[in-house]
A and B are shown apart, each in its own frame.
Chain A
Amino acid sequence: MNAQLNFECETGNYHTFCPISCVAWLYQKIQDSFFLVIGTKTCGYFLQNALGVMIFAEPRYAMAELEESDISAQLNDYKELKRLCLQIQQNRNPSVIIWIGTCTTEIIKMDLEGMAPKLEMELQIPIVVARANGLDYAFTQGEDTVLAALVHRCTQQTHSDQNKLVLFGSISNTVANQLTLELQKQNIHVDGWLPSQNYNDLPNLGSNVYVCAVNPFLSRTATTLMRRRKCKLIGAPFPIGPDGTKQWIEKICEAFHQKPQNLIQREQQIWNQLKQYCDLLHNKSVFFMGDNLLEISLARFLIRCGMIVNEIGIPYLDKRFQASELKLLKQTCEFMQSPLPRIVEKPDNYNQIQRIHEFQPDLVITGMGLANPLESRHINTKWSVEFTFAQIHGFINARDILELVTRPLRRNEKISKFEI
Chain B
Amino acid sequence: MGTLRIASSFKNVHAIMHAPLGDDYFNVMRSMLERERDFTPMTTSIVDRHVLARGSQEKVVENILCKDKQEQPDLIILTPTCTSSILQEDLQNFVNRALLTSNSNILLADVNHYRINELQAADRTLQQIIQFYLNKLAFHSIQKTSKPSVNIIGIFTLGFHHQHDCRELKRLLYDLDINVNLILPEGLQVQQIQHIPNAWLNIVPYREVGLMTANYLEQKFQMPFIDISPIGLIETSNFIQKLFSYLPYTSKIQNYINEQTQFIVQSAWFARSIDCQNLTGKKAIVFGDATHAIAFTKILVREMGIQVLCAGTYCIHDADWFREQIEGFCDEILITEDHTKVANMITRLEPSAIFGTQMERHIGKRLNIPCGVISAPIHIQNFPLGYRPFVGFEGTNQIADLIYNSFTLGMEDHLLEIFGGHDIQQVITKSLSPKSNIIWDENSLLELHKIPGFVRNRIKRNTEQYAQQNNINKITIEVMYAAKESLATYNIIL
Contact = CB atoms under 8 A, between A and B. Distances in A.
B31 interface: yes
Contact of A174 (B25, B115, B450, B478): B450
A19 B493 contact: no
Contact of A369 (B31, B47, B489): B31
A177 B484 CA distance: 14
A276 interface: yes
Interface string B8-37: 000000000001111111011111100111
B437 to A, nearest CB: 26
Contacts of B494: 276, 280, 410, 413
Contacts of B83: 40, 42, 103-104, 107, 134
Contacts of B324: none
Interface in B147-200: none
Interface stretch (A30-38, A135-143, A243-251, A326-334): A135-143
Interface stretch (B38-46, B288-296, B414-422): B38-46
Contacts of A174: 447, 450
Given A42-B113, A104-B82, A406-B493, A135 B362 contact: no
B383 to A, nearest CB: 12
B422 to A, nearest CB: 23
A81 interface: no
A181 interface: yes
Given A13-B46, A133-B20, A134-B23, A42 B52 contact: no
Name which of A108, A353, A373 has the most chain B CB atoms within 10 A of its CB: A373
B274 interface: no
Given A12-B46, A40-B113, A56-B359, A276 B36 contact: no
B86 A49 contact: no
Contacts of A49: 25, 28-29
A25 interface: no
Interface in A37-55: 39-43, 45-46, 48-50, 52-53
Given A350-B70, A368-B32, A138 B21 contact: yes
Nearest to A371: B31
Contacts of B238: none
A134 B379 contact: no
Interface string B41-79: 001101111001000000000010000001000000000
Contacts of B48: 12, 135-136
B87 interface: yes
B38 A376 contact: yes
Interface in B462-494: 477-478, 481, 484-485, 488-489, 492-494
Contacts of A71: 86, 114
Given A18-B22, A107-B87, A369 B46 contact: no
A41 B82 contact: yes
Interface string A245-282: 00000000000000000000000000011001100100
B449 to A, nearest CB: 12
A124 interface: no
Interface residues of A, number: 63
B485 A15 contact: no
B91 to A, nearest CB: 15
Contacts of A57: 362
A387 B25 CA distance: 18
Contact of B86 (A107, A371, A410): A107
A161 interface: no
Contacts of B315: none
A272 B486 CA distance: 11
Contacts of A277: 493
Contacts of A104: 82-83, 86
A376 B377 CA distance: 26
Given A68-B114, A135-B52, A376-B38, A17 B31 contact: no
A173 interface: yes
B81 interface: yes
B493 A410 contact: yes
A8 B236 CA distance: 60
A56 B31 contact: no
B38 A396 contact: no
B1 interface: yes
A399 interface: yes
Contacts of B27: 15, 369-370
Contacts of A350: 43, 70
Given A136-B48, A372-B37, A42 B23 contact: yes
Contacts, number: 153
B81 A108 contact: no
Interface string A88-100: 0000000000000
Contacts of A395: 485
Interface string A107-130: 110000000000000000000000
A18 B493 contact: no
A56 B340 CA distance: 10
Contacts of B39: 353, 370, 373
Contact of A178 (B23, B40, B450, B481): B481
A280 B19 CA distance: 41
A345 interface: no
B493 A40 contact: no
Contact of B25 (A17, A177, A396): A17
Contacts of A103: 20, 47, 82-83
Nearest to B44: A13
Contacts of A53: 362
B40 A68 contact: no
Nearest to A276: B493
Nearest to A50: B25
Contacts of B63: 13
A369 B24 contact: yes
Contacts of B36: 372-373
A103 B29 CA distance: 21
- Highest count of chain A CB atoms <10 Å: which of B1, B81, B450, B493: B493
A260 B493 CA distance: 33
Contacts of A191: none
Nearest to A21: B22
A106 interface: yes
Contact of A135 (B47, B118, B363, B365): B47
B373 to A, nearest CB: 13
B52 A369 contact: no
A310 interface: no
Nearest to B490: A273
Nearest to B117: A41
A18 B29 CA distance: 14
Contact of A372 (B35, B87, B115, B481): B35
Contacts of A15: 24, 27-28
B28 A367 contact: yes
Interface string B109-137: 00001110110000000000000000000
A353 B38 CA distance: 12
16 contacts: A16-B22, A20-B22, A40-B113, A42-B82, A45-B1, A56-B362, A67-B114, A106-B52, A107-B83, A134-B22, A369-B30, A371-B31, A372-B35, A372-B36, A373-B40, A410-B493
Given A350-B43, A369-B40, A373-B38, 4 more contacts: A42-B81, A178-B481, A369-B30, A396-B481
8 A-B pairs with the lowest CB-CB distances in the bound complex, closest first? A18-B22, A56-B362, A134-B20, A369-B27, A376-B37, A40-B82, A68-B114, A134-B22
Interface of A: 12-13, 15-20, 39-43, 45-46, 48-50, 52-53, 56-57, 67-68, 71, 103-104, 106-108, 133-139, 173-174, 177-178, 181, 272-273, 276-277, 280, 350, 353, 367-373, 376, 395-396, 399, 406, 410, 413
Interface of B: 1, 19-25, 27-32, 35-40, 43-44, 46-49, 52, 63, 70, 81-83, 86-87, 113-115, 117-118, 359, 362-363, 365-366, 377, 379, 447, 450, 477-478, 481, 484-485, 488-489, 492-494
